């Protein structure tokens, strides 16, 4: 692997290393090197890999591309890795001096969400500003469901700000739309929208499950509001809170209500179930007392059932 330090009297903060599996071609007049086949450029904690990379010594800039194979499938798609976070795209252009980049057709994982965008700009802070994107929890390249987003800002270890947006199931748009949304992008949990999962149930129809909002209240308590909705009329709402004081106690409180419809009201096998439940679990930390132990578990609920009797 070759290396260089600085260009035209400029001093980079660290050494730039580059290499390729197949070949390297130099253009001395333009101060550019062309890397072919498993190309790599490394600068500090930044690593770029792709089938083909063009590196300009003069501009201190690298541009990476994939290449189609015999079947037309793009292989060696560019990857950009920094601080253990990797993004993959159709093309990536990155300036080592300004520490900014331009990314086309990016797809990356942000905590539990998958983000893709047509055009993105990476700023010095690490924020990624995007136009025309998708946001989903489905890990497939062509997701079963997603939010179609006009603009997005992904802030590392904080949140994703997106909007306007509307939900699509496959290629079909739904009435579910939001002017903007805040989505958690932090391992410790940050306030934001919880993206629902999509699917189909033979008795209840198409559904969106566990969509809602997560809100940390303080260092010792949080709140999560979620709900389910089915195309044939069933629904559910849930509220849950966890609390913990170190060396003293911990617990959780959960409230839930639902109306579940099975089959069609006109059919003899139709049934409706309404439920309401309260659950509370509390545990005193053993370290709070060497002699006393205390724990509590409360479960209260009701259920009403209705069936056709033809």
Instruction: Map tokens 């793009």 to a residue.
Output: 74
Which of the two residues, 199 and 212, has the higher pLDDT score? 212
Direct distance between the N- and C-terminal alpha carbons of the chain, in angstroms, rounded to an integer: 80
Strand 74-75 relative to strand 79-82: parallel, antiparallel, unpaired? Answer: unpaired
What is the arithmetic mean of pLDDT over 48-72? Answer: 92
Question: Among the listed ranges 77-81, 256-260, 303-307, which one has the minimum average pLDDT value?
Answer: 303-307
Residue 28 lies in a domain: yes
**The predicted structure's pLDDT at residue 3:** 57
Q: Is 215's pLDDT higher than 60?
A: yes
What is the arithmetic mean of pLDDT over 152-167? Answer: 87
**The predicted structure's pLDDT at residue 8:** 45
Q: Are residues 182 and 201 in the same domain?
A: no
Q: Are residues 205 and 281 in the same domain?
A: yes
Q: Are residues 200 and 309 in the same domain?
A: yes
Residue 284 lies in a domain: yes
Q: Is 307's pLDDT higher than 90?
A: no
Q: Distance between CA atoms of 291 and 304, rounded to whole angstroms?
A: 44
Q: Are residues 201 and 310 in the same domain?
A: yes
Q: Are residues 201 and 185 in the same domain?
A: no
Count the domains in the chain: 3
For the stretch 89-123, pLDDT in tens is 999 999 998 999 999 999 888 777 888 999 999 99
Last residue of a domain, one of 37, 64, 98: 98
Q: Are residues 208 and 305 in the same domain?
A: yes
Residue 103 lies in a domain: no
Q: Identify which of 57-66, 158-167, 190-199 has the greatest average pLDDT.
A: 57-66
Q: Are residues 157 and 221 in the same domain?
A: no
Q: Are residues 146 and 235 in the same domain?
A: no
Cis omega (within 30 of 0) for bond into 15: no
Q: Is 7's pLDDT higher than 80?
A: no
Q: What's the pTM?
A: 0.66
Residue 253 CB-density burial (10 A; 0-12 exposed, 13-18 middle, 19+ buried): middle
Q: Is 54's pLDDT higher than 70?
A: yes
**The predicted structure's pLDDT at residue 37:** 92
What is the arithmetic mean of pLDDT over 200-207? Answer: 85
Dihedral sign for Cα atoms in the order 259, 234, 241, 285: positive
Last residue of a domain, one of 98, 125, 150: 98
**The predicted structure's pLDDT at residue 196:** 85
**The predicted structure's pLDDT at residue 172:** 86
Q: Is 47's pLDDT higher than 50?
A: yes
**The predicted structure's pLDDT at residue 292:** 72
- What rounded mean pLDDT belongs to the chain? 86
Q: Are residues 255 and 279 in the same domain?
A: yes
Q: Is 50's pLDDT higher than 80?
A: yes
Q: Are residues 113 and 43 in the same domain?
A: no
Q: Is 24's pLDDT higher than 50?
A: yes
Instruction: Supply the range of the domain harboring residue 241.
Output: 196-310
Last residue of a domain, one of 48, 66, 98: 98
| Structural tokens at position 38 | 């498993």
Do 135 and 150 touch, CB atoms closer than 8 A? no
The half-sphere exposure of 246 on its side-chain side, counting CA atoms within 13 A, is 1
Beta strands in 156-248 (DSSP E): 158-169, 172-178, 181-185, 192-194, 197-201, 205-218, 221-230, 235-245
In the structure, what pLDDT confidence band is assigned to residue 2 with cuts at 50, 70 and 90?
Answer: low
**The predicted structure's pLDDT at residue 309:** 46
Q: Are residues 210 and 269 in the same domain?
A: yes
Complete DSSP assignment for 151-165? EEEEETTEEEEEEEE
CATH number of the domain to which 31 belongs: 2.60.450.10
For the stretch 264-294, pLDDT in tens is 777 777 788 899 999 999 998 887 776 677 7
Which percentage of the chain shows pLDDT scores above 90?
A: 41
């Amino acid at each position: 692997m070759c290396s260089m330090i600085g260009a035209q009297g400029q001093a980079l903060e660290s050494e730039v290393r580059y290499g390729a599996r197949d070949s390297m071609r130099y253009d001395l007049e333009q101060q550019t090197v062309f890397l072919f086949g498993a190309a790599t450029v490394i600068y500090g904690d930044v690593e770029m890999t792709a089938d083909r990379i063009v590196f300009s010594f003069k501009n201190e800039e690298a541009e990476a591309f994939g290449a189609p194979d015999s079947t037309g499938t793009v292989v060696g798609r560019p990857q950009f890795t920094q601080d253990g976070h990797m993004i993959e795209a159709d093309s990536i252009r990155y300036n080592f001096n300004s520490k900014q980049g331009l990314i086309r057709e990016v797809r990356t994982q942000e905590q539990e969400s998958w983000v893709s965008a047509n055009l993105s700009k990476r700023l010095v802070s690490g924020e990624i500003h995007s136009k025309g994107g998708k946001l989903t929890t489905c890990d497939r390249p062509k997701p079963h469901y997603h939010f179609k987003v006009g603009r997005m800002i992904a802030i590392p270890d904080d949140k994703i700000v997106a909007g306007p947006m509307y939900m699509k199931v496959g290629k079909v748009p739904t009435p579910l739309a939001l002017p903007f949304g805040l989505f958690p992008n932090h391992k410790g949990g940050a306030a934001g929208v919880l993206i629902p999962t999509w699917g189909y149930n033979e008795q209840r129809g198409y559904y969106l499950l566990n969509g809602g909002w997560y809100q940390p209240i303080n260092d010792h308590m949080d709140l999560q509001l979620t709900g389910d909705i089915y195309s044939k009329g069933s629904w559910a709402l849930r509220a849950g809170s966890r609390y913990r004081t170190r060396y003293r106690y911990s617990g959780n409180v959960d409230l839930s209500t639902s109306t579940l419809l099975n089959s069609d009201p006109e059919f003899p096998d139709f049934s409706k179930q309404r439920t309401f439940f309260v659950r509370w679990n509390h545990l005193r930390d053993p370290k709070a007392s060497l002699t006393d132990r205390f724990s509590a578990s409360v479960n209260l609920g009701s259920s009403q059932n209705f069936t056709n009797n033809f």
